[in-house]
Structure 1
Amino acid sequence: MEFEEFEAILSAARTERAGQSLPEGFQLFDSWVASDADLSHAEQTLRARLPEKYKEFMRRHGAGQFLFLDLLPVVSVDEQQDDLLSVNEEEFRGGEFVAVAPVGTGDWWGFRVVDGVCLDRVDFVDHEDGSVSSAYSDFLEFLARRGLRAD
């Protein structure tokens, strides 16, 4: 999926939900954006080049709540918040996977790493047996289908 198509889907989702009353403190979109310096630091620390669509999304829209997904911020917004580096240093030290979104059950969405480069597709890691299965062709498709529930 390309950004033009993704932005149209995102715009429609935002329009559809405009004016909805939400519980106090609840956000549909947090938008904790990342700078180029944040992304460069993350790549150096993880020793993996992140997918371009992921990096561009983090620059444009950012992490946190993304409708039906919770995306890890590249840099924590407070000391209590998990971020890309803390989760991956704790959960995925082998450097073969970069987690970007918790499933909520202990499982993760993220990218397989091959020769220091994250693959474009988004994979699912099962926390019980460590198995990795392919799920979405790229980060924007993942966001549209899982986060925005667009078909």
Structure 2
Amino acid sequence: MEFEEFEAHLSVARAERESQSLPEGFLLFDSWVASEADLLHVERTLQVQLPEKYKEFMRRYGAGQFLFLDLLPVVSVDEWEDDLLAVNDAGFHKGEFIAVAPVGTGDWWGFSVVDGVCLDRVDFIDHEDGSINSAFSDFLEFLARKGLRAD
């Protein structure tokens, strides 16, 4: 999926939710954006090359709550928040998988890594047996389907 198609899905999702009344302070989108320096720091520390669509999304829209998904921020917004480094640098399938979004069951969505390069597709890793299954062709498709629940 390209950004133009993704942004059309995002516009529809935002328009559908504008009319809904939400509790005060509740945000559907947190928008914790990442700088180029943040992304380079994470890539150097984790010794991986992140997918371009992921990096562009983090620069444009950022992490945190993304409607029906919780995306790890590249850099923590406060001392209590997990971020990309905290989750992935602690040995979490180091060198094989970069987790970017918790599923909520102990499983994760993320990128498989081959020779230091994250694949474009988004995979699902099972916390019980460590199996990795391909799920979405790229990060934008993942966001549209799981985050926005677009068809």
What letter is aligned with 2:88?
N
Query: What is the alpha-carbon distance in structure 1 between the residues aligned to residue 91 and residue 29 of structure 2?
Result: 26
Partner of 2:60: 60
Q: Secondary structure at the match of 2:65?
A: strand
Partner of 2:69: 69
Query: What is the alpha-carbon distance in structure 2 between the residues aligned to residue 91 and residue 84 of structure 1?
Result: 12
Q: Secondary structure at the match of 1:90?
A: coil
The answer to whether the aligner puts 1:102 opposite 2:80 as a matched pair is no
The answer to whether the aligner puts 1:41 opposite 2:41 as a matched pair is yes
Partner of 1:120: 120
Partner of 1:86: 86
Partner of 1:50: 50
What letter is aligned with 1:72?
L
Partner of 1:14: 14
Query: What is the alpha-carbon distance in structure 1 between the residues aligned to residue 19 and residue 91 of structure 2?
Result: 39
What letter is aligned with 1:84?
L
Which stretches of structure 1, 4 residues or more, deviate above 3 A after TM superposition? Answer: none
Verify the 8 A CA contact 2:75 2:84 in the aligned structure 1. Answer: yes
Q: Secondary structure at the match of 1:133?
A: strand
Instruction: Tell me how far 1:6 sits from its aligned partner.
Output: 0.3
Q: Which runs of 5+ in 1 are unaligned?
A: none
What is the total number of aligned residue pairs between the two structures?
A: 151
Query: What is the alpha-carbon distance in structure 1 between the residues aligned to residue 68 and residue 108 of structure 2?
Result: 14
Query: What is the alpha-carbon distance in structure 2 between the residues aligned to residue 121 and residue 14 of structure 1?
Result: 25
Q: Which moved more, 1:126-135 or 1:12-21?
A: 12-21
Query: What is the alpha-carbon distance in structure 2 between the residues aligned to residue 109 and residue 80 of structure 1?
Result: 21
Verify the 8 A CA contact 2:100 2:108 in the aligned structure 1. Answer: yes
Query: What is the alpha-carbon distance in structure 2 between the residues aligned to residue 97 and residue 30 of structure 1?
Result: 25
Q: 1:13-60 CA deviation, whole Å, 9 max, x = no partner?
A: 001101321123321000000000000000001100000000000000
Q: Which runs of 5+ in 2 are unaligned?
A: none
Query: What is the alpha-carbon distance in structure 2 between the residues aligned to residue 147 and residue 81 of structure 1?
Result: 20
Instruction: Tell me how far 1:91 sits from its aligned partner.
Output: 5.0
Verify the 8 A CA contact 2:88 2:94 in the aligned structure 1. Answer: no
Verify the 8 A CA contact 2:32 2:62 in the aligned structure 1. Answer: yes
Query: What is the alpha-carbon distance in structure 1 between the residues aligned to residue 34 and residue 120 of structure 2?
Result: 19
Query: What is the alpha-carbon distance in structure 2 between the residues aligned to residue 8 and residue 91 of structure 1?
Result: 37
Query: What is the alpha-carbon distance in structure 2 between the residues aligned to residue 25 and residue 95 of structure 1?
Result: 38
